[in-house]
Amino acid sequence: MLRTTLAGLRMHKSRYVTTVMAILLGVMFVSGTMVFADTLNANYEKSVMGSATSVDAIAVPTAEEPTDPAEPSEPEPLTDAQLDGVRALPEVAGADGIVSGQAVLLDRDGRAFGFMPPAAISIGEPSRFSAAEGELPGGPDELALASSTAEQAGFEVGDTVTVLDPAQEEREFTVTGLVDFGVDPGYSLGGALVFAPDTVGEMTGATGYTEIDVLASEGHTDEQAAEAVAALLGDRADVRTGEAFGLEMAESAGGDTAMMRTALLLFAFIAMFVAGIVIYNTFAILIAQRQREMALLRCVGAKRGQVFRSVLLESVAVGLIASALGVLAGVGIGMAGAAFGGPLLGMGGSVPVVITPLAVIVGLAVGTVVTVCSALVPATHATRVPPLAALRTSATAGGLEKGTGWVRVVFGLLTFLVSAALVALTQVSGPNQMGPVIVTAAALIAFVGVVVLGPLLVRGIVRLVGVPLRRVGVPSMLAVDNSTRSPRRAATAMIALTVGATLITGYSVVSASLESTMTRMLDEQFPVDYQVSAQYSMDGASGGDTAAEEAPAEDGSSEDGPGAEEPAGDGTEGADGAPAEGTVGPLPEDAQDTEPGEGGAVDAAADDTGAGEGSPEEGADTSASDGTGMPLVPTEVEHALAESPLLDKVIAQRRGSIEDHEAAASGSLPVSTYDGAELGVDLTGETVEGEISGFGPGEVLVSEGFADGLGVGDTLTLPSPDGEVDLEIAAVLADAQTLWGAVVSPEDFATLFPDTTGSEMVYVRAVEGADASEVRDAVYTAVEDHPTMQVMSVAEMKNQFSDMMDIAFYTIAAMLGLAIVIAVFGISNTMALSVLERTRESALLRALGLGKGQLRRMLGVEAVLLCLIGAGIGIVLGVVFGWAAGAATLPDMVLTVPAGQIAVFIAVAVLAGLLASVLPARRAAGASITGALASE
């Protein structure tokens, strides 16, 4: 039996070509994913460990245990005295510290680089960082850039860059080198600038050390040096050896790699699942075609167990060979991923590709096991072939076409009913975390129904589509008859394509619906043209403003700035009774009637701020931070926007927070106001009850999550410095919207938060009919003296979101496309085996006058029918389950069916069917008529 099996493999190896390709592609994805992830991990370990182990011990300050868990304390930097103490230890040969703050880097257009200012540090000697290119700065007018920062901003060694100092004055520096910070989270988020040690304090106002790097003295180990430093610094610092520090950071970076590995392996699982369907279909057809051969083996003495083992041996041989080829291809894919995708993930080019034994073993095991498991059912069927079948004159695959009994029909309908019930459950229960899981389960159950009822679906669809095809010509009529004659085989072949089509269509529906929903929310709830905000700083100020406040004043006042310790009056006035710089005071009553486009709310406030005389000198950025830690927009920017005749609305968003409020589960109730906006008209949102229109002083809008059981007409009591304020709830808002938390009028906000008078964001809407380029120039002119201001147009926000969704869609579609390719191989295999089975039939058709071109056209139409049926069923399921998954996740989702993408997919299905039929049709057309008739 062994010799017979091996001889059969050698004789009919062409039958297994497409099966081998299906296994190869699936295993390639598995092994390629593991090779790429292992290489990424090795790069992270090398970059992190290489820097960390260049020193023997690393000390970083630790934060004190917070008295309030909701307000964690920041660690205090280590001091010069502590650094001197470390240097004096006998176990230490040398030590130096890293001073770290933030500084605003200007790009080539003179705007602040990044959403957050880069870290600004100094590197001493010794240090775990060094220049990867050029050299570290040595003078007051030199700096080095993080490699990632230089790449994103387009700077190189030798370029001149501009950085803002704490007073927001521009200073120019020459780039002397580039530093590779690897995956260190402290410097990989916003980038980094490296100054000379004497310069970093001038540029950031920072003092103390955020890290001390230590070299052990001769005769002492790393552990001894770390223990000595830890004993000296006590609880004020966390001290570890360089190796331990690097391992922890590498593990942290590896966590991201693990997530990526899991996501990619999920797609690999889908590919192997589809490959399993193709393998099952191949072996089912092969066994059905070899009924005569199996029966003859039984007649000459082969037992059922021997027949069963011979089929499994075939599957093991095919699986091993294909898996080995897949592992080799996977290594190549992993190398390509490391070469082209690695740099996008911060991976250097010096790390060799890592091929672990696990990646090879898993690839071989997965491919072989899937092949063997897929062949189990056909192998079992092979043992049931009666020996008398050898007396038949035709070796057809009739055994594959058993009738579709009522049990199969009832079971298939039940699966669809259960799937529909689960989908209905997700829609009744509303959006929640379990919704997508239930929808996934419903989709899997529906797939079972498609498999069970596949022959009926194929027969019904082909008969429907076949009506016009029968009138096209003889080849099309014959193709329709061939498909209806073997519906079970057709259903088994097209199910693999159905799985891939469902996944791609479902994801495209979710992606398009999410994009449409977010666009609608922006259009309806936020009808503005531009958004202006300050660059966010981890210090809670804009672009180093905190540092500016900490810098010594020229008049010799306290280092926190004039009046910092004792705010004058109510906190909104300076010493001369005018509102403090950088704030917009509450609106005077006569400002409410100001016409839009004539200054509005902000103009009225301008008269109160002393923006004329005594205003900050030109070019200074007076933005500061409010109580929520967000940076504020300078009043000069608001005034300039309000004065522009091209702008119809200038809406200032202010926000405060009330701690320990009973309506907030987290203990903090966000309170916001929109000065200059008519809520319900300029800004709107979905309400659970009540109306936003007509909202005014004495009323409050509350998100449902913060309503705490209160409804329209109830009273929400909020504390203020002058006592409690009772506000009537005008409307309860739906959660996850622009208007969020508690929204009050500007007058009530001034009562609740008299010290919070600056704006976190300013929203601008242009005058109707204004030229778009002129409006853009007006907005950018208003912020030209404030480079830390971030300007974003709503159109740009939409485009960025759209681009992000498109990138995600095409990335996932490309990965799922592998499943489609495997499915097409399966259809091609089915067609090839069908041609082999129908050799005599094809020869008879040729003898009766059917031309070679007509025969090729017949097989092409048959393959296209299979692909269209599989794709069509998959598209229908994809739309249904894509809608269900989106609606179970996103409230009020706007269902969008991307007709263009689906049309492209249908066109691809047609092309795939034609390609799948090329080789089988060519073989059928080239066969000898007399030879084929004589062989039967």
Shared-domain flag, residues 618 and 739? yes
CB 360 within 8 A of CB 65: no
* Distance between CA atoms of residues 222 and 240, nearest Å: 9
Q: How far apart are CA 374 and CA 285, in angstroms?
A: 13
Same-domain check for residues 808 and 757: no
pLDDT of residue 163: 92
The continuous run of DSSP H or E covering 718 comes out as strand 715-720
Note whether 731 and 754 are same-domain residues. Answer: yes
User: Are 771 and 917 in the same domain?
Assistant: no
SS3 652: strand
Residue 803 lies in a domain: yes
- Containing structural domain, residue 468: 454-525+794-883+895-936
CA distance 101 to 99: 7
Among 482, 480, 491, which residue's Cα sits nearest to residue 402? 491
- Cβ count near 104 (within 10 Å): 30
Cβ partners under 8 Å of residue 272, min gap 6: 26, 27, 29, 30, 366, 367, 370
| Whether residue 647 is found in the same domain as residue 631 | yes
**What is the per-residue burial (b if ≥16 Cβ within 10 Å, else e) of 108-122?**
eeebbbbebbbbbbb
Cα–Cα dist 463/453, whole Å:
16
Which of 766, 787, 808 marks a domain boundary?
787
Residue 35 domain-assigned (yes or no): no
Residue 495's contacts (CB-CB under 8 Å, 6 or more residues apart) are: 277, 447, 450, 451, 454, 870
Q: Is residue 401 part of a domain?
A: no
Domain boundary at 180, 214, 240, which?
Answer: 240
Q: What is the mean pLDDT of the chain?
A: 76
- For residues 774 and 836, state if they share a domain: no
Last residue of a domain, which of 787, 813, 834? 787
Of 560, 562, 587, 585, which Cα lies nearest the Cα of 575? Answer: 562
Find all residues with CB under 8 Å of 111, minimum gap 6, and list them.
787
549: its two tokens: 């406040």
Distance in angstroms (rounded) separating the CA atoms of residues 282 and 345? 40
Collect contacts of 338-347 with beta carbons under 8 A, ≥24 apart: 338/35, 338/36, 338/39, 338/40, 341/36, 342/39, 342/40, 342/43, 345/40, 346/148, 346/182, 346/183, 346/188, 347/39, 347/40, 347/43, 347/44
> Which of 788, 784, 619 lies closest to 115, judged by CA?
788
Contact (CB, 8 A) for 366 and 27: yes
pLDDT of 695-741, one tens digit each?
Answer: 889 999 998 888 878 889 999 888 888 888 999 999 998 876 778 88
609 within some domain: yes
CA distance 792 to 440: 38
Q: In this predicted structure, what is the pLDDT of residue 590?
A: 36
What are the E-state strand segments in 82-169? 92-102, 104-106, 119-122, 131-134, 142-146, 160-164
Q: Is 0.75 topped by the overall pTM?
A: no
Phi, psi of 480 (to 5 degrees): -65, -45
586 in a structural domain: yes
Same domain, 571 and 672: yes
Whether 558 is covered by a domain: the verdict is no
The answer to whether residues 512 and 601 belong to one domain is no
What pLDDT is recorded for position 581?
32
Separation of alpha carbons 672 and 118, rounded Å: 29
- Would you say 58 and 248 are in contact if contact means Cβ atoms under 8 Å apart? no
Same domain, 660 and 798: no
Phi, psi of 100 (to 5 degrees): -135, 130
For the chain, count helices (H), then strands (E).
25, 21
**Residue entry with tokens 């970076």:** 253
Burial class (CB in 10 A: 0-12, 13-18, 19+), 8: middle
Percentages of the chain per state (helix, strand, coil), in multiples of 5? 55, 15, 30
Q: What is the pLDDT of residue 395?
A: 43
Whether residue 877 sits in one domain with residue 772: no
494 within some domain: yes
For every residue of 536-576, DSSP letters joined together read P-TTSSSTTHHHHHHSPPTTS--TT-TTSSS--TTTTB-TT
Low-confidence ranges of the chain (pLDDT < 50): 393-401, 540-625, 627, 936
Q: pLDDT digit string (tens) for 247-278?
A: 777 666 655 566 666 767 777 777 777 777 77
Pull the structure tokens for residue 794.
Answer: 């709503």
Q: Specify whether 743 is located in the same domain as 852.
A: no
| Cα gap 930→395, rounded to integer Å | 19
Note whether 817 and 782 are same-domain residues: no
* SS3 of 663-714: CCCCCEEEEEEEECCCECCCECCCEEEECCCCCCCCEEEEEHHHCCCCCCCC
Beta bridge partners, 764, equal 530, 650
Q: How far apart are CA 748 and CA 725, in angstroms?
A: 8
Return the sign of the alpha-carbon dihedral for residues 799, 800, 801, 804: positive
Distance, in Å, from the CA atom of 746 to the CA atom of 604, rounded to the nearest integer, reads: 13
- The reply to whether 475 falls in a domain is yes
Cross-strand bridge partners of residue 874: none
**C-alpha of 864 from chain center:** 35
Total structural domains within the chain: 3
Q: Does residue 354 contact residue 337 with C-beta atoms inside 8 Å?
A: no
Note whether 40 and 296 are within 8 A (CB): no
Q: How far is CA 163 from the centre of its chain?
A: 32
What number of residues does the chain have?
Answer: 936
Q: Give me the torsion for CA of 712, 715, 717, 722, rounded to 10°.
A: 120
Q: Which of 796, 888, 898, 885 is nearest to 516 (CA)?
A: 898
Angle between helix axes 794-837 and 852-889 (nearest 10 degrees) is 140
The secondary element (H helix, E strand) that includes residue 212 is strand 211-216
